[in-house]
Amino acid sequence: MAHLTRRAAVAGLSGLTIAPWLPGCGSKPDGMPAQQGKPRIALVMKSLANEFFSTMAAGAKRHQADHADEYDLIVNGIQDERDLTRQSALVAEMAAQGVAAIVIAPADSRALVTPLQRAAKQGLTIVNIDNRLDTEVLKQIGLQAPFVGPDNRAGARKVGDALAKALKPGSQVAMLEGIVTSFNSQQRRLGFEDAMKTAGMPLVAIQSAQWETAPANQATASLLNAHPELKAVICCNDSMALGALAAVKSAGKAGQVLIVGFDSISAVQAAIRAGEILATADQHGDQLAIFGIGMALELLHGKATPADRETPVNLITRESLQ
């Protein structure tokens, strides 16, 4: 059941970190020397208050402990996913500490490109995970930063399709998106919109709750007042789904307004088992940083790699958790 699906997905991911060089698969960026000795790698994440990223950090630490002879790891994160200034400062601090590579889940797809370019000019290898940096800005600024992560649009489409099956045609739906300049928020919004359009479900409102629980709670309360016929709230991450759930319960509409999320954190899995949240998407946060680290090690040791690597994302429902 769910454990078999997850095991198969992780097994499929494992091959990504050790993919050998093949002609035509890409090349080491110009001027990037092969790393000698044991490198230090910095993992720079978004909000550590979000269980998804604390799970990511824990997975990376376990991997480093199992491969202590291969690399050292420094783990960093910001407390608020909106704190772009602090995350930019972390990039500069890691460069100043002389790490060999930065594996980053950027809080913003555009704002982090310039600080990362400064780090790259100092000789650091940059690997982008979770939230893709803006490809046009990367081209304009001349930064090479391969992306390791899931197809967020496809993952959101899976969750949106599951929601549509649970609703009657024409049901009113609202959406809470993340930071609007974040690529993964944009892609999840598109995936959910794809599903709702195909199913003929009107999206009566789309608001940003900036990935956070409290803003999601407030936004959902307002949406329930403005749209008394609302039948579902789509949330572009699980932290917002928890905020939406609290608002629905406070309004006395538990079971009447369906909620879906994205990330598959433990609190949302528990809510799915309890029938309080319908579905979410698992992008295997405990593995995601590991695969970014794997790519960084390949680059540091002079191995050629593809420009990007796609990782699995799976639909999580009550049935799949049994």
Domain ranges within the chain, ordered by starting residue: 9-148+285-309, 152-282
Q: What is the pLDDT of residues 208-247, one digit of tens each?
A: 999 999 999 999 999 999 999 999 999 999 999 999 999 9
Domain pair 9-148+285-309 / 152-282, same fold: yes
Sign of the dihedral through C-alpha 165, 167, 168, 172: negative
The residue with tokens 């704190």 is: 83
| pLDDT the model gives residue 306 | 65
Confidence of residue 80 (pLDDT cuts 50, 70, 90): confident
| pLDDT the model gives residue 29 | 40
Rounded CA gap, 53 and 153, in Å?
Answer: 20
Tell whether domain 9-148+285-309 is in CATH 3.40.50.2300. Answer: yes
Give the least confident one: 16-20, 88-92, 244-248, 307-311: 16-20
Confidence of residue 307 (pLDDT cuts 50, 70, 90): confident
Check whether 37 has a pLDDT greater than 80.
no
Rounded CA gap, 220 and 212, in Å?
Answer: 12
User: Would you say 319 and 19 are in contact if contact means Cβ atoms under 8 Å apart?
Assistant: no
User: Would you say 148 and 311 are in contact if contact means Cβ atoms under 8 Å apart?
Assistant: yes
Architecture category of domain 152-282 in CATH: 3-Layer(aba) Sandwich (3.40)
Q: Give strand pairing partners of 310.
A: 149
DSSP 152-212: HHHHHHHHHHHHHHHS-TT-EEEEEE--TT-HHHHHHHHHHHHHHHHHT--EEEEEE-TT-
pLDDT mean over 271-298: 96
Q: Give strand pairing partners of 41.
A: 73, 101
| pLDDT the model gives residue 208 | 97
pLDDT mean over 184-201: 97
| pLDDT the model gives residue 25 | 31
| pLDDT the model gives residue 49 | 85
**Mutual orientation of helices 51-66 and 238-250 as an angle, nearest 10°?**
150
pLDDT mean over 127-140: 95
CA atoms within 13 A on the CB side of 87: 28
- Read off φ and ψ for residue 281, nearest 5 degrees: -125, 135
| pLDDT the model gives residue 284 | 95
Q: Helix H segments across 44-176?
A: 51-66, 84-96, 113-121, 135-141, 152-166
pLDDT mean over 13-39: 42
Full-model pTM: 0.83
Check whether 9 has a pLDDT greater than 80.
no
Check whether 19 has a pLDDT greater than 60.
no
Q: What is the pLDDT of residues 139-171, one digit of tens each?
A: 999 999 999 999 999 999 999 999 999 999 999
Confidence of residue 1 (pLDDT cuts 50, 70, 90): very low
- Tokens for 294, please give them: 């794997």
User: Would you say 244 and 113 are in contact if contact means Cβ atoms under 8 Å apart?
Assistant: no
Check whether 3 has a pLDDT greater than 60.
no
